[in-house]
Amino acid sequence: MPEAAPDYRVWIGIARALRRRCPVCGLRGISRHVASVENTCPKCDLDLERQVGSFIGGIGLNTIVAFGGLLLVLTIGFIATEGRASVWGILVPALAVALFVPLIFYARSRLVWVALELRWWPLEPGEVNLPGETRSS
Ligand SMILES: [Zn+2]
């Protein structure tokens, strides 16, 4: 009998990724700080570069979130200042978002992208090593 693929739910994986945890096993140590992600999960051996270009997908997701935040800040700034150019009302908050959102969201964006990839390309049997997973052979 073939080995069963581990059970994976995409929303649980995304929720774990947003908390900088492994999308499959939930290990916290996969990201030491907001701008760092391990290449493989130390607990379940999930490869975070499962598909060619996974890194670019995470960076693209990070860029989308950063530009969305920037658009939101610019829109709120122009509404709050009634359309006038303002250094403290628009420029400084926009610069803060442009600098800090990509940095703070970096690890999360890479892990969320892996969580999404696991939905599009499910785990193969034996791809990860989960201690509690029952395996049939
Ligand atoms: Zn893991």
pLDDT tens column, 25-36: 999 989 998 888
pTM exceeds 0.75, yes or no? yes
The pLDDT value recorded for residue 85 is: 83
Confidence at 72, pLDDT banded by 50, 70, 90 = very high
Q: How far is the CA of 101 from the centre of ligand 1 (A)?
A: 25
Q: How far is the CA of 49 from the centre of ligand 1 (A)?
A: 13
Q: How far is the CA of 88 from the centre of ligand 1 (A)?
A: 43
Under a CB-based contact definition with an 8 Å cutoff, are residues 37 and 17 in contact? no
- Would the pLDDT of 136 be above 60? no
Q: How far is the CA of 96 from the centre of ligand 1 (A)?
A: 33
Q: Smallest Cα–Cα separation from 97: which of 74, 123, 70, 130?
A: 70
In whole angstroms, what is the distance from residue 8 CA to residue 6 CA?
A: 6
Confidence at 5, pLDDT banded by 50, 70, 90 = low
CA angle 49, 133, 28 (to 5 degrees): 50
Q: How far is the CA of 128 from the centre of ligand 1 (A)?
A: 8
HEC string of 12-69 equals HHHHHHHCCCCCCCCCHHHCCCCCCCCCECCCCCCECCCCCCHHHHHHHHHHHHHHHH
- Would the pLDDT of 92 be above 90? yes
Q: How far is the CA of 44 from the centre of ligand 1 (A)?
A: 4
Contacts of 102 (CB under 8 A, 6+ apart): 62, 63, 66
Q: How far is the CA of 28 from the centre of ligand 1 (A)?
A: 9
